[in-house]
A and B are shown apart, each in its own frame.
Chain A
Amino acid sequence: MSRRQKADRIRHLLATEGDAVFENTTHVNAGRLEANSHRDDIEELRSEARRIKEDAIERLPELVETVRESVEANGGTVYVADDAADANRYITDVVEDRGADAVAKSKSMTSEEIDVNEALEAVGVEVCETDLGEFVIQVADEAPSHLVGPAFHKSTGEIATLFNEQFDPDVPLETATDLTQFARDHVGEQIRDADVGMTGANFVFADSGTIALVTNEGNARKCAVTPDTHVAVAGVEKLIPSVAEFPPFAELIARAAGGQDIATYLSLLSPPVDSPVVDFEKPDEPLDGATDNREFHLVLLDNGRTEMREDEDLRETLYCIRCGACANSCANFQHVGGHAFGGETYTGGIATGWEAGVHGMDRAAEFNDLCTGCSRCVNACPVKIDIPWINTVVRDRLNRGTDQEFDWLVEGLTPDADPGGVDVQKRLFGNFGTLARLGSATAPVSNWLADWGPSRAFLDRVAGVDRRRDLPEFQRETLRDWFASREPLDTAGDADREVVLYPDAYTNYVLVDRGKAAVRTLEALGVDVAVASCHESGRAPLSQGMIATARRNARRVADSLDPYLDDGRDVVVVEPSDLAAFRDEYERLLPANRAERLAEHSYEVLEYVYGLLENGADADALAGGGDVAYHSHCQQRTLGLDVYTEAVLERVGYDVVTSDVECCGMAGSFGYKSQYYELAVDVGGTLRDQFEAEETADREVVASGASCQEQLAGLLARGNRHPVELLAPE
């Protein structure tokens, strides 16, 4: 898809599905945060859940054997299917053997993955989706747009129109209650008439051959126990050892998915179950326990999962419990929804991992770039999957152009320079440091040139830099130049603390004032400051999936900071995304000991100031007082650092209102890209609305991230600064 086609598609989805998705995700997110706040052990539960999944995936072959034995001992059958065709062949055989012509099916992404409905319909079997969301999608003949809420992108009004057109009821349906009643009755009939019930499985307990179904509607139970034949389709990754491992998932899944403390129904069925078959064709025959004719088939689907398991970076995907929280917490998803953000089957944050693993890189490529790496999903995920890293890895592999389906699985990430195949747009944004150095050296000419119509047209055409976006303005005097030509403040060195300020390209060449303010603030509090040389942290190339370049950047940064660390200096960082790279990503880019030492001694500037004040530094040395509207930064929030900025500002007399949107929408280079510009502005609109609301409209705006500052500059009539600029003494 060309950039223009991509932009058109996004514009279309923003206009048609954006509002419904925004409303639904906002609602679900609020519920998740609220439900999590009821318990203080969520972090322990997440760690426990992750440990269980890690262990289960490690022991997968053994668990498959165990479940085979236990299901067979119960009287059922296990079939491990290599791929979709294999699974469908088996399932259609079972259905045909039973002479069935109708199947009632409850929601299951795995059965979507194999397109089992099409396979069954091809042999003349009617399939009825019984989950109401799935049913809507089936009637509309669309694809699900969310892992949990398939019809997430539809409003009540749209569903009413759809049902009224399709079913032409005597009294037109209007409200959600009308629609639910109607769907319940319609689908209820289909369940009664079905010869086979099909379900997925959220978990499979190997020991007892139990499938766990997590639902709020009763349809999964009805599908599983009403007809005499039950087929459950599940990815092999759903296996866990036994019911003993179930509690953390029972506690987490509904919270993560929809903000409930616990799902309405957690069905633990070890089929064939003892429940009598309910045969509505013999209405007056007592249910008497004649269950001998029950049949059960567990179809465990591989479809690329074994290879994912062998893959260092994609393995984590298999820990996913498909709760959809990553999608809900994603600012881009909130605005454009799962039809932009998904591949053939899976949508949302983790979709890249799933699609890359089960459908191949091509399917993942289409939407992979929509992940801006903001990292807000990381804390939302109940099994602590590093979703942004999976997106980065897939992007890197796409850059490398290894489109033979499974090459990348064995090739891994070799630390050579990024290949020539990386497109111009990625190269441009991935090497922002070089660009900034040149821009600064030739400022103001470079700035005029960048603003000049023909060069903007050229940039747009060749590199897809959207013309509607103001470009960063390079400063002739860099932060390092300024620092070198000045005397430290008198107070510097009083506190016995020594730091080295790490300036990235933005701080050194563009937003120089925030760097100066950081130096003056630290010196005012008695700290001796040095300024390191300006090397890119690797954040920019990482966001373009250029891992080799990022690794080279990381080495340079570590080389330049190591001598300061040897001297016992702390590292202070102005840009939160750089700190996120030091703390979270460098462990993947540098030898462990180097990464660890740097992570341990690095601080965000306001975090450091907070520490100084807590340890007795004199807050009176800082400027203070006033009303501010503060936008933290997504990675900063993920690291839990926003609170320090708030605390420091309040300590020196500022009244602070903080935005609660996930991301400003700019997200590094994302907002510059012509294919994503409109989405970036739409996402930013939520932030703008908060800062133009009555309570905040007159407040001074501050933001911690460089790209947040740029986005806010574009969105608001008034200017903005970095919080440290509020603190620096005159």
Chain B
Amino acid sequence: MGTDTVDGFAAALSTADVDCTRTTAADFEAVLDDVVDAPAVGTPLGIDGVSLDDTIVELPPTPRLLDEAETGVTRVHAGIVEYGTFVVQADEAGTEPVSLYPRTHVGVVRASDLYEDVRSVASWLGDEFAAGRDSAVLATGASATADMGELVTGVHGPQTVHAVVLTDR
């Protein structure tokens, strides 16, 4: 994946009011500690060469952590460049609730997992479904509602979303 793709992703993220930090595997831990507000909860990222173990992020998640953490850190399994969308797959470690409950969601995505548009991500999802990983959320920006007469963010979901893109992965 070239810089163009990451640029496009970052541009779409910013339209969706999502900040984007680019880093490499080597710098990941330092960058993460900057980006994350404690207390923070997370699930294992499953990405070669990066880990949450030596960061301020606590694992494994508990209901109390979900409730009290300021930030939830998870892997983002794929991204849609066109809209700045996170594709988060559900797993037994609790990636789905960790991405949903805390006020801020920090999603860690490999540049190589970025897809141009909905169609290409759907075809990737088709393969994932076939392999049994058949639950995922396509999340774009912060949770929002206009039900009270104007747009308000952070309703039953994160109010702030932050992307960390691993440009060398």
Contact = CB atoms under 8 A, between A and B. Distances in A.
B91 A275 contact: yes
A210 B64 contact: no
Contacts of B62: 283-287
A210 B129 contact: yes
Interface stretch (B2-10, B27-35, B154-162): B154-162
Interface string A119-163: 000000000001111001000000000000111001110010000
Given A177-B152, A265-B137, A149 B92 contact: no
Contact of B142 (A180, A264, A273, A278): A264
A583 B15 CA distance: 42
A180 B148 contact: yes
Given A219-B156, A266-B138, A274-B91, A155 B129 contact: no
Interface in B52-68: 60-64, 66-67
B77 to A, nearest CB: 12
In the complex, which range does the number of interface residues on chain B fall in?
35 or more
Contacts of A221: 96, 100, 137, 156-157
A275 B94 contact: yes
Contacts of A191: 156
Contacts, number: 190
Contact of B66 (A151, A247, A263, A278): A278
A261 interface: yes
A254 B76 CA distance: 22
In the complex, which range does the number of interface residues on chain A fall in?
35 or more
A265 B157 contact: yes
A615 B146 CA distance: 51
B126 interface: yes
A155 B156 contact: no
A454 interface: no
B90 interface: yes
B24 interface: no
Given A151-B147, A275-B90, A275-B91, A268 B136 contact: yes
Tell which of A179, A191, A274, A284 has the most Cβ of chain B within 10 Å.
A274
Contacts of B118: 247, 250-251, 262
Interface string A224-260: 0110000000000000001110110011000000100
Interface string A171-183: 0000011011001
Interface of A: 74, 130-133, 136, 149-151, 154-156, 159, 176-177, 179-180, 183-184, 187-188, 191, 207-208, 210, 216-219, 221-222, 225-226, 242-244, 246-247, 250-251, 258, 261-271, 273-276, 278-280, 282-289, 291
Given A262-B118, A262-B138, A289-B93, 14 more contacts: A133-B145, A180-B155, A184-B154, A210-B135, A216-B155, A217-B144, A218-B100, A261-B83, A265-B139, A267-B136, A270-B135, A283-B63, A287-B93, A287-B97
17 contacts: A132-B147, A133-B145, A179-B149, A217-B157, A221-B100, A242-B126, A266-B138, A268-B134, A270-B129, A270-B134, A275-B96, A278-B97, A283-B67, A284-B62, A284-B64, A286-B62, A287-B61
